[in-house]
Structure 1
Amino acid sequence: MPRQVCGRTRPGQSRYCVLTRTNDLQALLSCLKQEGSVTTAHEGGHILKSAFQPIYSLSHCRAVGHEALLRATDAEHKPVPPPEYFATATSSEDRVWIDNLTGLLHMANFAANRPARQWLFLNTLPETMLKLTSEATPRHLAEALDRFNLPASTVVLEVLESAFQDAGELTAAVERAREIGFLIALDDFGAGHSNFDRVWQLRPDIVKLDRSLVARAAANTRERRVVMQMVSLLHECGALVLMEGVETVDEALLALEADVDMVQGYHFCRPQPLPETGGPALQKLSELHQLLLNTALRQRQQQKARIAAYYNAIGHGAFTLSQGHTLEEACQSFLSLPQAEVCYLLDDHGFQVGTHVLPPQYSSPDVLGYEPLNDCTGATWARRPYFRRAMQAIGQVQVTRPYRTIHGNRICVTVSMAFRRMVDGQEQIQVLCGDLLENEDSALA
């Protein structure tokens, strides 16, 4: 049995436990204490409590899980931030001890007030995950789950961001957790060491986007587009995506726009002592979907009005070419517009016909830095969306999403149209394209 000291620091103070470096289940359970409807833990002069923040499915418009968070106070009942409490650990063994104790505490409180059809998200240190490869730990975990009547499939282990050196050992531990039945979430994605390398290595069931990434994307159009593509790529990697730290309506709209699966944050609900079963967040989710529909409609109307002249000009240029005029004559209308950057013609295989046609007033402060890319004679653009879409819908103008132009450090949009024309007595399909500079504050679909 481990050495255990229980008592009071002075009259009137709370009971606490101090144990030697062991993770025996009974030793850990001895630090738990039932206080009314909740369980607390008393360890090292600190009182530990659980708090639960709901995690909502945007599609289901209801809570599907709760992240368990630690709330600690000292012997004087003063709040102790979790990082400060974990800093009291003087060794890796101590950190694992605290991590296991808080995990049991959260299991006890979640099980006693467990909502139907919901996950328990538990933050887990990499050092704790490694213990899953030992012989004793899986048995202790099974005993703990049985004690609280929690199937392993209801628990999501969040692997915390850390510069862990032995990636292979951590991967093996994650696989062992999967064998037991746990789901795996990669926390703090987009910050520190949690990146796509970790996604490919650990194959998480859920990826949680870091709060800092969410805040930047909500405030910056370019980063917003990057996050939306990031979510799509994570889905293709086989992970569900959870956006955490959602605190404003704009950030909530970003989550819907980016097609994330789940959200978590103060905008919906703050952490609370017991798991959430309803509340105002459900109404907020319903209103959010309607707000997105209204916002998308307004953006489409603004986009249509802003791009109409370029849209019409590229269609007119294609018609002009089909009537036997030169490329320069066909592009004149498009290139007279204020944001027009360049026009070019492709054959039916995506190869460029001739050179770019530039507007007479064309100037760019950074064009010299991209001079090696200026001559596009014979270049092939067959893989680009503006060519592929145009070839799939001959006679209809297509508009791309914003992307980086090769003509400088700027973002552009391409409008294109495939059409038929006679060349040397034979009918050919060609694609007329025009690039226009994109306003960073706009959002073309």
Structure 2
Amino acid sequence: MQALYGAVREERGRWVGSYENYRLTSAFQPVYGYPHRRPVGYEGLIRVEDDRGRPITPVTAFEGVGNFDQQVWLDRLCRLLHVHNFVAQEQPDCWLFLNIHPAVFNHAALQVRMLARAVEVVHQLGLPTHRLVFEVTEDVMARDDSFEDAVEAARATGCLLALDDFGVGHSNFDRIWRIRPEIVKLDRSLLKRSRGSRRMARALSQMVALLHDCGSLVLLEGIETTEDAQLAMDADVDLVQGFAFGHPAPFLRDEEGVSALEDVWGLFNERQARRQRDHLDRLMPFRTALALALGPLQQGRPLAEACQAFLKLEGAQMCYLLDEEGRELGPRAAPASGPAETDPRFLPMERAGDARWARRPYFRRAVETVGEIQVTRPYLSLHGARMCVTVSVAYRQDGRLRVLCGDLDWDEG
């Protein structure tokens, strides 16, 4: 630790470091909580200048690191700078996010004396370890069996773990379940893929929900525009970071981000109202047509005849009847133009036979509220592996419960 302090000094209220001919300083980018509408943390990022004061990238400056011991030393130096500069600004109740090389993390966390000394220094500076978040990429887990032991050793100090760049490369949920990170940082490539694709945006939302079920908060980085911020909000992420809310800067600032966040909330309210209107308008003809089919069905008319109005609507796929156990009753009814073209690769899924759909939300909700029209969220239909929405309603005929269902295409691009 003494050698590290020999490489840092205080200049006009800021701490700077020296490495070879380079000058190292800290920059902090805010991490915002959507519900809180304020920064809940800051990520420490290293900034490098050469001996002429010209900025250069850390990658360029550190590419000559010759051995692992030097890598460990440099990694620790950067974090020491960030801690000093963060503490000096007296920002209460905020996390400090610190990047750490995975191999260095493994090494340091398992060195008991080194770890204890680092904790002691942080406490002496007035920063509780529960306000430290170590960001580690998961790629090392595939190569180093000691990673889980290192996680437990670091967690015992009281700090939090953020798994960085999740969603690319060899990412998998098995690692989430094994190491139980408090925070998962989604790779910005997921955001890029979700732009302009409702299907990908929906998949992003489902990934976030699964991470929540695993017990992790979710942070989405790379938020550059208002549209990005809306995508993140729609996906129900907890934390956001990016140029839309603040650029890395030497001093902890939040005014720019708070204003941007208020704009995002205003757009969110407008967009939600518009989406709700559009959704209802799109579904209303199908809801009405399915309700009109109940009378003829209860009078004993054939399914295809009773559901004519539904099947004439653009986008209608089929209608079918289920009994009280969710089993199909009789043949399905398709539009007069014939059923939608089927991908031959999924023909085995088309032959329903004695299919039972009791697990499906459209069945469960219908039988819980007999006589009320139910509408599902978009889901993957087993009939041709297409996205669809099902409108359903339960009714009684001759003392037996029946559920009428109508499927419609829901291609969102």
TM-score band (shorter)? Answer: over 0.9
One-letter amino acid of the structure 1 residue matched with residue 227 of structure 2: D
**Cα deviation, residue 365, structure 1:** 4.6
- Within the candidate set 419, 430, 434, 2:402 is matched to 430
CA distance in 1, matches of 2:142, 2:73: 21
| Separation in structure 2 between the aligned mates of residue 288 and residue 135 of structure 1, nearest angstrom | 45
Among 61, 69, 75, the residue aligned to 1:93: 69
Tell me how large the CA RMSD over aligned residues is: 1.6
* Contact persistence 2:317–2:408 (CA under 8 A): yes
CA contact (8 A) 1:366 1:409 kept: no
Alignment of 1:267-306 (within 5 A): 267-276=244-253, 278-306=254-282
The 8 Å contact of residues 99 and 128 in structure 1, kept in 2 or not, is answered as: yes
Match of 1:387 in 2: 363
Whether the aligned pair in 2 keeps the contact of 1:354 and 1:378 (CA below 8 Å) is no
* Structure 1 residue 218: Cα displacement: 3.0
* 1:352 aligned counterpart, secondary structure: coil
Give the stretch that moved more between structures: 61-70 or 364-373. 364-373
**Helix, strand or coil: the match of 2:65?**
coil
Corresponding residue number in structure 2 for 1:369: 345
**Counterpart in 1 of 2:324?**
348
Distance of 1:341 and 1:65 partners within structure 2: 49
Shift of 1:273: 0.6
CA shift, 1:189, in A, is 1.3
| 1:408 correspondence with 2:380 | no
1:249 aligns with 2:226: yes
Query: 2:293 aligns to what SS in structure 1?
Result: helix
- In 2, Cα distance between equivalents of 1:239 and 1:142: 24
SS at match of 1:343: strand
Residue of structure 2 in register with 1:6 after alignment: none
The 2-side partners of 1:233 and 1:415 are apart by 26
Counterpart residue identity of residue 108, structure 1? H
Inter-CA distance 219–86: structure 2 relative to 1 (3 Å threshold): farther
Instruction: Tell me by how many angstroms 1:71 deviates.
Output: 0.8
Unaligned runs of 5+ in 1: 1-24
Per the alignment, in what secondary structure is the counterpart of residue 195 of structure 2? Answer: helix
- Give distance in 2, aligned partners of 1:93 and 1:321: 79
The alpha-carbon deviation at position 364 of structure 1 amounts to 4.4
After superposition, where does 1:19-168 map in structure 2 within 5 Å? Answer: 25-130=1-106, 131-168=108-145
The residue number in structure 2 matching 1:334 is 310
Match of 1:14 in 2: none
Residue from 215, 234, 238 that aligns with 1:261: 238
| 1:89-132 superposed Cα distances (whole Å, 9 cap, x missing partner) | 22333222221111111011101113111010001111122121
Change (3 A) 1:316 1:178: same
Report how far residue 252 of structure 1 moved.
0.8
Q: Which residue of 2 aligns with 1:20?
A: none
Q: Deviations along 1:367-392, whole A, 9 cap, x unmatched?
A: 32221111212111111111111112
1:59 match: secondary structure? coil
Aligned length: 412
Change in CA separation of 1:387 and 1:86 when aligned onto 2, cut-off 3 Å:
farther
| CA–CA separation in structure 1 for the residues paired with 2:62 and 2:395 | 67
Distance 1:288 1:64, change over 3 A: same
Flag the 1:147–1:31 CA change in 2: closer, same or farther, 3 A: farther
CA displacement 1:258-284 (0-9 Å, x = unmatched): 2211111111111111112x3132122
CA distance in 2, matches of 1:87, 1:198: 29
Q: Does structure 2 retain, via aligned residues, the 8 Å contact 1:355–1:376?
A: no
Identity of aligned residues (%): 41
Q: Structure 1 residue 179: deviation in Å?
A: 0.5
Q: 1:203 aligns with which of 167, 180, 186?
A: 180
* SS in structure 2 of the partner of residue 351 of structure 1: coil
The one-letter code sitting in structure 2 at the alignment partner of 1:296 is Q
Contact 2:317–2:339 (CA<8 Å) still a contact in 1? no
Deviates further, 141-150 or 252-261: 141-150
The answer to whether the Cα contact below 8 Å between 2:109 and 2:150 also exists between their aligned partners in 1 is yes
Equivalent residue runs for 1:181-220 within 5 Å = 181-220=158-197
Contact kept, 8 Å, 2:318 with 2:339, in 1: the verdict is no
Please state how far the C-alpha of 1:167 moved relative to its aligned partner: 4.8
What is the CA-CA distance between 1:163 and the residue it aligns to?
4.0
Give the AA of the match of 1:70.
Answer: I
- Given that residues 216 and 223 in structure 1 are in contact (C-alpha distance below 8 angstroms), is that contact kept between their aligned partners in structure 2? yes
1:227 aligns with 2:199: no
Q: Distance in 2 between matches of 1:47 and 1:162?
A: 30
Native 8 Å contact 2:350 2:384 kept in 1 = no
Residue of structure 1 equivalent to 2:298? 322
Structure 1 residues 391 and 168, CA gap change in structure 2 (3 angstroms)? farther
> How has the CA–CA distance of structure 1 residues 163 and 408 changed in structure 2, closer, same or farther, with 3 Å as cutoff?
farther
2:156 to 144, 166, 179: 179
2:336 paired residue number: 360
Compared CA separation, residues 205 and 41, structure 1 to 2 (3 A): same
d(CA) in 1 for partners of 2:180 and 2:8?
34
Distance between the aligned counterparts of 1:343 and 1:173, measured in 2? 56
| Alignment check: 8 A CA contact 1:123 1:160 kept | no
SS where residue 36 of structure 2 aligns?
coil
List alignment gaps of at least 5 residues for structure 2.
none
What's the offset of the Cα at 1:54?
Answer: 0.5
Question: What code does the residue aligned with 1:158 have?
Answer: E
Counterpart code for 2:23: I
Alignment of 1:306-317 (within 5 A): 306-317=282-293
Range 51-60 or range 359-368, more displaced: 359-368
Q: How far is the alpha carbon of 1:76 from its aligned partner?
A: 3.2
